[in-house]
Amino acid sequence: WERPDGRPFRQRLLVVANRLPVSAVRRSEESWSLEISAGGLVTALLGVKEFEARWIGWAGVNVPDEAGQRALTKALAEKKCIPVFLDEDIVHQYYNGYCNNILWPLFHYIGLPQEDRLATTRSFQSQFAAYKKANQMFADVVNQHYEEGDVVWCHDYHLMFLPKCLKDYNSQMKVGWFLHTPFPSSEIHRTLPSRSELLHAVLAADLVGFHTYDYARHFVSACTRILGLEGTPEGVEDQGRLTRVAAFPIGIDSDRFIRALEVPQVQEHIRELKERFAGRKVMLGVDRLDMIKGIPQKILAFEKFLEENPTWRDKVVLVQIAVPTRTDVPEYQKLTSQVHEIVGRINGRFGTLSAVPIHHLDRSLDFHGLCALYAVTDIALVTSLRDGMNLVSYEFVACQDSKKGVLILSEFAGAAQSLGAGAILVNPWNITEVAASIGQALNMSAEEREKRHRHNFVHVTTHTAQEWAETFVRYDVSLCNQILFPPDN
């Protein structure tokens, strides 16, 4: 968009998220190396190029000394990143505690084990206090770097308190908040002891965004039923002040994936993979190793398929890439061993001396390796038990324009609302249904695959990350412009 005098106007955007898009590793007292980290938010925001953006967030490391903080701040500045320094105790209570033990499971409809539930109930107040304190620390850093006219875009469940902290500093600041996870039914949200305080804090934002219309509706219902406020077609109204609430489905930088397939190194990798899996159909899962991704259920469904379809046993392979996350948490360690145990059992049961049915890798793949794998895949299995959106399904579709493989997609992923017409939708809890969908995908005619793929490919290439960010920020900027460029009178 343009200024009234016709000059282009590059909006300054402060993107605030719990984690910066880079991870920092200390090499010596004053030297740091930085690496781009994997994850949905990073992938989406890397596709956003239209704004003069600065990132504000935690670098994922404890840096107690001032010399280290100075050196890291300097290294990050080159990447347009600004660190928030959190000490170990805050990280433990805010990040591991309130964010990941309370909000994450609750928003994904996952109950905690009984012993954790009791411990969590006991430590709830101190964890919530740490959450508010951490959000205030983010607000302090935003406030130091804020310039009039900036749009501040807060991300995710870690920072639900931030809009309120920012507005307390400066009620003129334009603040948006976007949730990357589902927002659960108001009946779930109302079990949270801090339910009202959190909702009020989010409502301090000018614009509140979700991936799907359903999540937005759940949020508005929570505000009307729990806070007794009024929902309007535009959002939620509190004492004459309107917070706009809307759905902004995220996308990916699809061109980046499509272009990568032309890179010689990727083509070489594709040739190698085709050779390695010659004569077999390739099924693929790419997930963070998290409870919500439904990895054990997916593997059990594959086992059921092999059990019921002996003729396919040596003609199909499942490649499951699972990046470990939160490796220090016992629940996640248990999940890792559970997955290893199931994979080992199935490989022992159906493998031969020359081939195994499941290749399971506990690690992250580099971008080119990932693109090559997407390109040689016949069937992608995205069977999250809940997922805000799920970008893996989008990335797979972007890399499939020559192969036109089939996407099996959980109905509990936000992506089901955008890619549902092209995918085979499944209930991931029903392994009989998922096993049957594998058979359906393997036997699908070329015409039907083409038709389904076309639908999804058009969606993925037209609803990009860039468009997502522009839609969100413009929504807000329309208000900013009135402040930046008031009408002459």
User: Applying CB under 6 A, which residues contact ligand ADQ?
Assistant: 38-41, 43-44, 180-181, 250, 286-288, 321, 323, 364-365, 370, 387-392, 395
CB of 2 to ligand ADQ, least distance (A): 30
Nearer to ligand ADQ, 9 or 367 (CB): 367
CB of 288 to ligand ADQ, least distance (A): 5
Q: Left (φ > 0), alpha (ψ -120 to 50) or beta: where does 276 sit?
A: alpha
Nearer to ligand ADQ, 164 or 386 (CB): 386
User: What is the C-alpha separation between 162 and 202, in angstroms, rounded?
Assistant: 8
Residue position matching structure tokens 């590059």 = 10
CB of 250 to ligand ADQ, least distance (A): 5
What is the phi/psi pair of residue 115, to 5°? -65, -35
CB of 179 to ligand ADQ, least distance (A): 9
Nearer to ligand ADQ, 53 or 392 (CB): 392
Nearer to ligand ADQ, 211 or 449 (CB): 211
User: What is the C-alpha separation between 145 and 179, in angstroms, rounded?
Assistant: 23
Residue 137 neighbours by CB under 8 Å, 6+ apart: 84, 85, 86, 90
User: What is the C-alpha separation between 193 and 442, in angstroms, rounded?
Assistant: 48
According to DSSP H, which parts of 282-384 are helical?
A: 295-308, 330-350, 367-376
CB of 233 to ligand ADQ, least distance (A): 25
User: What is the C-alpha separation between 127 and 144, in angstroms, rounded?
Assistant: 26
> Are 424 and 442 within 8 A, CB to CB?
no
Nearer to ligand ADQ, 167 or 180 (CB): 180
CA distances from residue 12 to 51, 91, 172 in whole angstroms, order as listed: 6, 29, 15
Residue 428 neighbours by CB under 8 Å, 6+ apart: 294, 297, 298, 383, 384, 385, 410, 412, 434
Nearer to ligand ADQ, 169 or 332 (CB): 332
Nearer to ligand ADQ, 173 or 426 (CB): 426
Residue number, nearest CB to ligand ADQ: 40
Residue type, 293: K
CB of 9 to ligand ADQ, least distance (A): 27
Nearer to ligand ADQ, 45 or 306 (CB): 45
In this structure, what DSSP letter does residue 472 have?
H
Nearer to ligand ADQ, 21 or 357 (CB): 21
Residue position matching structure tokens 């000394």 = 65
CB of 482 to ligand ADQ, least distance (A): 30
CB of 329 to ligand ADQ, least distance (A): 16
CB of 125 to ligand ADQ, least distance (A): 27
The separation between the first and the last C-alpha atoms of the chain, rounded to the nearest angstrom, is 23
Residue 369, exposed/middle/buried by CB under 10 A (0-12, 13-18, 19+)? middle
